[in-house]
Amino acid sequence: MSSGAGTSASAGPPAGSRWSWLWLLAGGLLGATLLTLLGVPAGAIVGAVLGSAVVSIRGARLRAVPPSTRIVGLVLLGCAAGVRLEPDSLLMLAKLAVPLVGAVVVLLALNVGLALLLTKRYQVDPITAMFACAPGGLSEIGSLAETYGARVGVVVAVHVVRVILVVVLLLPILLVALGH
Amino acid sequence: MDVLLLLGLLGAGILGAAIGKLARFPFWPLSGAILGAAAFHLAAGGAASVPWWWSFGAQVLIGTVVGAKLGPAVLRDFRLVLLPGTVAVLAIVAAGVGLGFALESVSALSRLEAVFGMVPGGVGEMVAAVTTLHGNSALVAGMHLVRLLIVIVSLPWLVRLVRRLT
């Protein structure tokens, strides 16, 4: 994972040191706290993304956040979701199976269509185009893309931009549209 | 909340994630922890719950990892495919939102869960947002896991298809 380059921070862990990624975490914590205190809906996730993105772009040679950070976050989030998992949720998911699978098939058809467009019109190689447009998780698609010889940097860049666009731009719009 | 109950919940989540990793669950840290925590919740007679700072901390960790990826290298790589990349991102996101509304209209899902369950904006990020909004985060996580599973299984075939068509 890449981090930012630019001006060095004046205090705290020196740039490039083992613990310099803590600046990113501090930026995320500050952003999340600020937007939560301001009462922004979903302020914690939006603020954390914005805060660490600002540090990443402005920070000098910061160490990448350890991969275990996301794993710890997902386990904590999984626990929070698990205590809400009622039999009704499972029943609902079972009832949703057909329309949900149908919706995913539509997304995959769009994936193929976009990959063909990118290949024919923009001269992107087909494997890179396919993985860049795949509606999957960043880590899973990234590792699959590497296996298939796609340009991983481009694939990861498109997926990172997608996730950030959704969290920072689309999420606030959806929250207003959905009445939150 | 009882500290012992909270530690038990955390332990069950970690155990579930470890089992998920061994069993190769898709997105094992989330899916495994959900199953582990749900099992603990049921075993504790539905007494388990998490305090606000638990979800807040999780969102800070997940959000930090995403934001930290936005370094100069990513921006440089995205610039290489700026126009097609933007077209792809907008099309996928718009399709996700549209399919969410469609799913709401053909099911008993609320709009919040239908839309956030279909928008391909990162599983952790979407589940985190629904958690904040007090929606059914377990259901949304389940929807995303189904999507991821289908996508990962289908991609090798679709890659072959696109290779043949180009």
- Is residue A109 very low, low, confident or very high in pLDDT (cuts 50, 70, 90)? very high
Same domain, B63 and B100: yes
pLDDT at B79: 82
Same domain, A58 and A99: no
Same domain, A77 and A104: no
Least confident of A6-10, A42-46, A146-150, B49-53: A6-10
Q: CA–CA separation, A143 vs A124, rounded Å?
A: 19
Closest-CA residue of B relative to A85 is B138
Same domain, B101 and B120: yes
pLDDT digits (tens, 9 = 90+) for B12-33: 999 999 999 999 887 789 889 9
Same domain, B144 and B68: yes
For B7, the domain range is 1-50
Flag whether residue B107 sits within 8 Å of chain A, measured between CB atoms.
yes
Name residues 60-79 of chain B within 8 A of A (Cβ): 60-75, 77-78
Residues B113-125 have a mean pLDDT of 88
Same domain, A74 and A4: yes
**H or E element in which residue B117 lies:** helix B111-118
Residues B146-164 have a mean pLDDT of 87
pLDDT at A17: 78
- Is residue A3 very low, low, confident or very high in pLDDT (cuts 50, 70, 90)? very low
pLDDT digits (tens, 9 = 90+) for B38-97: 999 889 887 778 898 998 999 899 889 888 887 777 778 888 788 888 888 899 999 999
A139, pLDDT greater than 80: no
Same domain, A91 and A172: yes
For A158, the domain range is 87-180
- Is residue A104 very low, low, confident or very high in pLDDT (cuts 50, 70, 90)? very high
pLDDT at B9: 95
Q: B42: which residues sit within 8 A by CB, 6+ positions away? A: none
Same domain, A152 and A71: no
Same domain, A72 and A102: no
Inter-residue contact A5 to A61 (CB < 8 Å)? yes
pLDDT at A4: 40
Inter-residue contact B149 to A99 (CB < 8 Å)? no
Same domain, B38 and B75: no
Q: A61: which residues sit within 8 A by CB, 6+ positions away? A: A3, A5, A15, A16, A20
pLDDT at A11: 46
Same domain, B10 and B24: yes
When CB atoms are compared, the residue of A28, A83, A148 closest to B63 is: A28
When CB atoms are compared, the residue of B64, B91, B99 closest to A25 is: B64
Q: CA–CA separation, A147 vs A159, rounded Å?
A: 17
Total number of domains constituting chain A: 2
Same domain, A70 and A155: no
